[in-house]
Amino acid sequence: MATNKYISMSVIKRLPRYYRFLSNLKDDGISRISSKELSNRMGLTASQIRQDLNCFGGFGQQGYGYNVETLYEEIGKILGVDQGFKMILVGAGNLGRAIATHMSFQSRGFELIGIFDKNQAIAGEMIKNIPIRSINVLDDFCKENLPVVAALCIPSSESEEIVDQLVALGIKGFWNFTHFDILAKYPDVAVENVHLSDSIMTLSYQVMNTA
């Protein structure tokens, strides 16, 4: 049990994948699994799995392996799927709407409580039982409802201003779909980037350079 030490981002990034595989194992009615068997299924080394899990405590048992249900729940706790962080979404264009409707926020630790767009014409439209609000009421809404996290699906040009505004309103994390890089300007704000354009360009490189 070594909960206080620093955990590298490499480890954190692997946790959701473990969580996913454990969920599948559960669905398949498998109640125990060894690091070796899991490593076969996931395509990585058994040792890495053991080392990753040991960052958070000894969840396994020698000669037995890991209890699927327990491990699933433990990783869920580590990732905070039970936190229900209040989230707002800014930008209700194609991508914003898709994110709002497509994602299962609740099972990932979030609760979507508001959607905002600068386009007055679409204000009032409902997405997943949440009305699109004008960006003009963002301030008031945040002061009243205290969201913790914001998903950004707006053009890059508007990003910096909105980020400043939201940080001032107490936002502690961004799910950033814009091209804008939220830099170390705000050291105690978490940022998770989803740069789709970067991703597709990486694919292009890979296609060119794969045997």
Binding region for a copy of itself (CB under 8 A): 12-13, 15-17, 19-20, 42-43, 78-81, 83, 85, 93-95, 97-99, 101-105, 108-110, 148-149, 172-173, 175, 179, 181, 183-184, 187-192, 194-208, 210-211
Q: How far is the CB of 52 from DNA (least distance, A)?
A: 8
Please state the closest distance from residue 164 (CB atom) to a copy of itself, in A: 17
| Span between the terminal Cα atoms of the chain, in Å | 44
DSSP state of 135: G
CA distance 161 to 150: 14
Interface residues for DNA in 12-41 (CB under 7 A)? 33-37
Q: Identify what 184 binds: a copy of itself, DNA, none; CB under 5 to 8 Å per kind.
A: a copy of itself
**156 part of the interface to DNA, by CB under 7 A:** no
Q: Interaction with DNA in 61-120: which residues (CB under 7 A)? A: 61-66
Asked if 59 is part of the footprint of DNA (rule: CB under 7 A), the reply reads yes
Q: DSSP for 56-85? A: T----BTTTBEEHHHHHHHHHHHHTTT--E
137-145's contacts with Cβ under 8 Å and 24+ in sequence apart are 138/88, 138/90, 138/165, 138/166, 138/169, 139/165, 139/169, 141/88, 141/114, 141/116, 142/88, 142/166, 142/169, 142/170, 142/171, 143/169, 145/86, 145/113, 145/114
Ramachandran region of residue 65, left (φ > 0), alpha (ψ -120 to 50) or beta?
A: left
Counting contacts by CB under 7 A, is residue 44 touching DNA? yes
Task: Name which of 6 and 62 has its Cβ closer to a copy of itself.
Answer: 6
Give the residue with the Cβ less far from a copy of itself, 42 or 165.
42
Taking CB within 5 to 8 Å according to partner kind, which of DNA, a copy of itself, none is near residue 126? none
Residue ranges that bind DNA, judged by CB under 7 A: 2, 8-11, 33-37, 44-48, 50-51, 53-54, 58-66
